[in-house]
Structure 1
Amino acid sequence: MHAMVLNATGAPLVWTELPDRAPGPGEIRVRVLACGVCRTDLHVVDGELPRPLLPVIPGHEIVGRIDRIGPGVTGLRIGERVGIPWLGRTCGCCRYCAGGQENLCDAPLFTGFTRDGGYATAAIADARFAFPLGEEGDDVALAPLLCAGLIGWRSLVMAGAGRALGLYGFGAAAHIVAQVARWQGRAVHAFTAPGDRAGQDFARSLGAVWAGGSDEPPPAALDAAIIYAPVGALVPAALRAVRKGGRVVCAGIHMSDIPAFPYALLWEERQILSVANLTRQDGIDFLGLAPRIGIRTRTTAYPLRDANRALDDLRHGRFEGAAVLVP
């Protein structure tokens, strides 16, 4: 097998030939068909997330076909197309797993961070954390649903049922969530980097009722706002934009420091919440709903060997939607 390997944070990924790997008990091996390039991958590569397992193969938006099944696996078959997400394994016995919050597990493994991921021609996964994808939809188009879509879905649920919704940072996750929110009958307000007219036009093309810079106020108070950009200064900006009792959901795994802000912005029962990882139920709920919604992802495909270029293009906002690696 071949893979793009991270040997040291802050360094480029290295094209590497590795021995073929066999799945262990409870595991499957998939031939990777597509792997999305997520902003979390940037945080891993740049060393912004502590304690990655190095060397590691990044990538956690994996679409692949099972080509080998380990002992004890049931319910999956050779040749079946599956998706492998960020949450790669949980302990199943801590208070969080026992209480239905496996996303907060005390001893988890994360795909592409603490276990090898999908920037490769093949990947090993815990069969319990692989989602059957069926045969509908293109491999490249489906890949961003495995994290941008799943985390987007969890953040949307946490935002509550309010109609007026703000999305700060209109990238891979927001362009999916905007479609879900519009399908639910919500009014989407998109906030981009100041002066990003192309991003604002992209948001309007997906049904946003308003699009502007993150330094601009929305035309009316929002019921909730979700922050996808890893910029802590957006938290007080979003608090200013939501109504009394409104929610601000921080959906990223990493964010720059939140600056001090006056208590008056939080008063009147406004809330700040964070999203951590996902649960398997999130995957079942969202991936079951996605075909009904008719989500269309905008993707830019790159050969697997060009993973460093894809990451740099993501870092500098050189495409709309999501990047996807194709072995």
Structure 2
Amino acid sequence: MNLGEMDAWVVARPGPVASRPLERVRLPVPAPGPGEVLIEVEACAVCRTDLHLAEGDLPPRRPRTVPGHEAVGRVVARGQDAVRLEPGARVGVAWLRSTCGRCRHCLRGAENLCPLSAYTGWDADGGYAGYLTAREEYVYPVPEETPAERLAPLLCAGIIGYRALLRCDLPPGGRLGVYGFGASAHLTAQLAVAQGAAVHVMTRSARARELAMRLGASSAQDAADAPPEPLDASILFAPVGELVPVALEALDRGGTLAVAGIHLSDIPVLNYRRHLFQERTLRSVTANTRADGRAYLDQASAHPPEVTTVAYPFDAADQALSDLAADRVEGAAVLVR
């Protein structure tokens, strides 16, 4: 099946973003395989995971991969056995591309831990392109009336933040610490505030601190500063291992720190009494389940968050990554076509 060609960006030479690891190319429009749909991309958000892949922090699983896993678009063709989504359906494509469905993790509802899981923009080409394919049971219907620029960040930043909020065991009306305040954090903080939490934000960006306060945070201070009160739970969004002991020390007795990123720089040596004693807990967050995605998108539909975005034309994907690396993006960067 010859579907013509499309513009795309590939990770050609993983390395520092200043070395321009992305390359713009022409690729054949992919044909949907069994159970897959072909989606014409309207917008794709730019995730820090894309940056980790481009810079080599996340080892490439295949050469010259098209990154991007927060894509919004329309189904334009279906592969064999794809029957759930009609052509023209508006959908979102997220990070989790497929799982085996048979292992003990999948069978107990923890498909995010499936050892055979595959990921959009890492194991298969993603949304930095005119078109992408996805297995139809792993995509999400999205509202017709919401602009793609606002929907795209929900598909990873929102969903992963939702799972991180579950993992940190925030009690009702509790005190939540948020370390780093980019795309995922600004959505998660709004969800926590809506649930009645007092949210304290720690970030090095003055502009991000201003945004946090505007979105309802109780306080905002520098990344390594102590919050104004002990915390029941915290989420580390910044990929900075040096903040782990800082965040643990800010927890009250019995508090939990969830690390939300796929990549983290090395964690310094922890002192048991200062950082972990009195039943403090340190947890990781690994991808998400489809149930997480459906639950978060349902909440976002019922109570739409304020999605702060910076739009970039498709031609400027390399600039968007560069701005993300330099913390010049307030909220989420989104490539729009």
- TM above 0.5, yes or no, is yes
Secondary structure of 1:35's aligned partner: strand
Task: Deviation per CA, 1:295-317: give whole Å up to 9, x if none.
Answer: 12111111112111000000001
Q: Distance in 2 between matches of 1:157 and 1:56?
A: 31
Q: Distance in 2 between matches of 1:221 and 1:15?
A: 48
Q: Distance in 2 between matches of 1:186 and 1:169?
A: 18
Q: 1:100 aligns with which of 94, 109, 120?
A: 109
The aligned counterpart of 2:48 is 39
Q: Distance in 2 between matches of 1:132 and 1:280?
A: 12
- Indicate the percent of aligned positions where both proteins have the same amino acid: 47
The aligned counterpart of 1:20 is 29
Q: 2:330 aligns with which of 283, 298, 320?
A: 320
2:11 corresponds to 1:6 = yes
Task: Deviation per CA, 1:50-105: give whole Å up to 9, x if none.
Answer: 24211110000010100001111122111111010011111111221122111011
The aligned counterpart of 1:137 is 146
Q: 1:84 aligns with which of 69, 90, 93?
A: 93
Q: Distance in 1 between matches of 2:264 and 2:169?
A: 22
The aligned counterpart of 1:310 is 320
Q: 2:169 aligns with which of 145, 160, 163?
A: 160
The aligned counterpart of 2:3 is none
Task: Deviation per CA, 1:134-184: give whole Å up to 9, x if none.
Answer: 213110011000000000000001111321000000100010011101110
The question of whether the paired residues in 2 share the 8 Å contact of 1:223 and 1:247 is answered with yes
Letter of the structure 1 residue corresponding to residue 197 of structure 2: R
The question of whether the paired residues in 2 share the 8 Å contact of 1:222 and 1:246 is answered with yes
User: Which ranges of 4 or more aligned residues in structure 1 deviate by more than 2 Å?
Assistant: none
Q: 1:290 aligns with which of 289, 300, 303?
A: 300
Secondary structure of 1:18's aligned partner: strand
Secondary structure of 1:269's aligned partner: coil
Q: Distance in 2 between matches of 1:21 and 1:294?
A: 33
Deviation (angstroms), 1:20:
2.1
Q: Distance in 1 between matches of 2:304 and 2:298?
A: 11
Q: Distance in 2 between matches of 1:175 and 1:83?
A: 20
Letter of the structure 1 residue corresponding to residue 91 of structure 2: V
Deviation (angstroms), 1:21:
2.0
Letter of the structure 2 residue corresponding to residue 34 of structure 1: A
The aligned counterpart of 1:223 is 232
Q: 2:244 aligns with which of 235, 239, 245?
A: 235
Q: Provide the TM-score with structure 2 as the length reference.
A: 0.95
The aligned counterpart of 1:174 is 185
The aligned counterpart of 2:135 is 126
Q: Distance in 1 between matches of 2:329 and 2:111?
A: 33
Q: Distance in 1 between matches of 2:328 and 2:203?
A: 14
Q: Provide the TM-score with structure 1 as the length reference.
A: 0.97
Secondary structure of 2:28's aligned partner: coil
The 5 A counterparts of 1:257-268 are 257-264=266-273, 265-268=275-278
The question of whether the paired residues in 2 share the 8 Å contact of 1:4 and 1:304 is answered with no
Deviation (angstroms), 1:285:
0.4
Q: Distance in 2 between matches of 1:199 and 1:308?
A: 22
The question of whether the paired residues in 2 share the 8 Å contact of 1:9 and 1:47 is answered with yes
The question of whether the paired residues in 1 share the 8 Å contact of 2:76 and 2:87 is answered with yes
Q: Which moved more, 1:7-16 or 1:137-146?
A: 7-16
The question of whether the paired residues in 2 share the 8 Å contact of 1:80 and 1:132 is answered with yes
Secondary structure of 1:216's aligned partner: coil
The question of whether the paired residues in 2 share the 8 Å contact of 1:8 and 1:54 is answered with no
The question of whether the paired residues in 2 share the 8 Å contact of 1:180 and 1:293 is answered with no
Q: 1:280 aligns with which of 281, 290, 293?
A: 290
2:52 corresponds to 1:49 = no
The question of whether the paired residues in 1 share the 8 Å contact of 2:45 and 2:69 is answered with yes
Q: Distance in 2 between matches of 1:114 and 1:7?
A: 15
Q: Distance in 1 between matches of 2:157 and 2:141?
A: 18
Q: Distance in 2 between matches of 1:75 and 1:21?
A: 20
Name stretches of at least 5 consecutive residues in structure 1 with no aligned partner.
none
Secondary structure of 1:211's aligned partner: strand
Q: Distance in 2 between matches of 1:35 and 1:20?
A: 17
Deviation (angstroms), 1:237:
0.4
Q: 1:301 aligns with which of 294, 311, 322?
A: 311
Name stretches of at least 5 consecutive residues in structure 2 with no aligned partner.
1-5
Q: Distance in 2 between matches of 1:258 and 1:73?
A: 45
Secondary structure of 1:120's aligned partner: coil
Task: Deviation per CA, 1:232-279: give whole Å up to 9, x if none.
Answer: 011100111110000000000000000002101200000000000010
